[in-house]
Chain A
Amino acid sequence: MIWIVDQLAAPWQSELAARGGLVALLVGAPAAAIGCWVLLRDLPYAAESLAHGMFPGLVAAALIGIPPAIGGLVGLIVAALLIIGAGRIGLAGDTAVAVAITPLLGLGALIALAGTVPPGLGGILFGDVLAANSSDVLLAALLAIVTLITLRLSHWRLLASGLGRAGSSDLLILLLLALATVAAARALGALLAVALIIGPPVAARTLCSRATPMIIVAAVIAAIAAFTGIELSWHAGIAAGPAIALCAILPAALVSIPMPSWSHRGAS
Chain B
Amino acid sequence: MNNEALVETIGLDAGYGGTVALSDVNFSAAAGQRIALLGPNGGGKTTLIRTLSGELKAIEGSVNLASETGTVPQHDPARDGWPATAADVVLCGTLDSIPWWRRPGRRQRKLASEALAAVGLADHSTTTYGELSGGQKRRVQVASALAGGARILLLDEPFAGLDAVASRRLEDLIERLAQNGSTILIATHDLEQARSWERVLCLNGEQIAFGEPDSVLTRTNLELTFGSDLIEVPGGGLMAPPHHHEDHEH
Binding site for B on A (CB under 8 A): 40, 152-157, 159-160, 162-166, 205, 208-211, 214, 264-268
Render B88-126 as a binary contact track against A, CB cut-off 8 A, 1 for contact.
110111010000110110000000000000000000000
Bound together, the chains give a CA A266 to CA B88 distance in angstroms of 19
Docked complex Cα distance between A8 and B130 (Å): 43
List 30 A-B pairs, Cβ < 8 Å: A40-B82, A152-B103, A155-B103, A156-B92, A156-B103, A157-B95, A157-B100, A159-B84, A160-B95, A162-B78, A162-B84, A163-B78, A163-B92, A164-B76, A164-B77, A164-B78, A165-B89, A165-B95, A166-B92, A208-B83, A209-B128, A214-B83, A264-B81, A264-B128, A265-B80, A266-B81, A267-B81, A267-B131, A268-B81, A268-B131
**A160-B92 contact in complex given A153-B101, A155-B103, C-beta closer than 8 Å:** yes
B85 CB contacts on chain A under 8 angstroms: 210
Given contacts A156-B92, A266-B81, contact A165 B144 (CB under 8 A): yes
Give the complex CA separation of A153 and B95 in angstroms: 12
B248 at the interface (CB under 8 A from A): no
Assess the B84–A211 pair: CB atoms within 8 A. Answer: yes
Interface residues of B in 220-250 (CB under 8 A from A): none
Do the beta carbons of B83 and A209 come within 8 Å of each other? Answer: yes
Chain B facing A: main interface SS: loop
**Least CB distance, B67 to chain A, in whole angstroms:** 18
CB interface residues, B 64-90, toward A, < 8 Å = 73, 76-85, 88-89
Q: Are the C-beta atoms of B128 and A163 separated by less than 8 Å? A: no
Question: B81 touching A163 by the CB < 8 A rule?
Answer: no
A154 to B102, CA, bound (A): 8
Task: Looking at the assembled complex, report how far the CB atom of A219 sits from the nearest CB atom of chain B, in whole angstroms.
Answer: 15
**A214 neighbours in B (Cβ, 8 Å):** 83
**Number of B interface residues, CB 8 Å?**
26
Distance to closest chain A CB from B113 (angstroms): 16
Contact B83 A268 (CB under 8 A): no
Contacts A153-B101, A156-B104: A265 and B81 contacting too (C-beta < 8 A)? Answer: yes
Given A155-B103, A156-B104, A210-B88, the answer on whether A162 and B82 have CB atoms closer than 8 Å is yes
Nearest chain A residue, comparing its CB with the CB of B93:
A165
Which 7 A-B pairs have CB atoms at the shortest separation, nearest pair first? A164-B77, A160-B92, A162-B82, A165-B92, A211-B83, A162-B79, A265-B81
Q: Within 8 Å CB of A164, what residues of B? A: 73, 76-78
A136 to chain B, nearest CB (A): 30
Residues of B within 8 Å of A159, CB to CB, are: 84, 88, 92
Chain B residues, Cβ within 8 Å of A154: 100
Nearest Cβ distance between residue A27 and chain B, in whole angstroms?
24
Given contacts A153-B101, A156-B103, A214-B83, contact A166 B95 (CB under 8 A): yes
CA A162 to CA B130, docked complex, whole Å:
12
Of A155, A160, A163, most buried by chain B (CB within 10 Å of CB) is A163
6 more A-B residue pairs beyond the given contacts A162-B82, A210-B84, with a C-beta to C-beta distance below 8 A: A160-B95, A164-B73, A165-B92, A214-B83, A265-B81, A268-B81
Residue of B nearest to A214 (CB): B83
* Chain B residues near A160 (CB-CB < 8 A): 92, 95
Chain B residues with CB under 8 Å of A209's CB are: 83, 128
Residues of the A chain whose Cβ atoms lie less than 8 Å from the Cβ of B77: 163-165
CA distance A267 to B100 in the complex (A): 31
Q: Which of B80, B84, B95 contacts A268 (CB 8 A)?
A: B80
Residues of B within 8 A of A162 (CB): 78-79, 82, 84
CA distance A214 to B93 in the complex (A): 22
Q: Which residues of A contact B89 (CB under 8 A)?
A: 163, 165
Closest CB-CB distance, A240 to chain B, in whole Å?
32
Which residues of chain A are near B76, meaning CB under 8 Å? 164
Is the pair A163, B95 in contact by a Cβ cutoff of 8 Å? no
Most buried by A among B77, B81, B103, B130: B81
* B103:A163 contact, CB within 8 angstroms: no
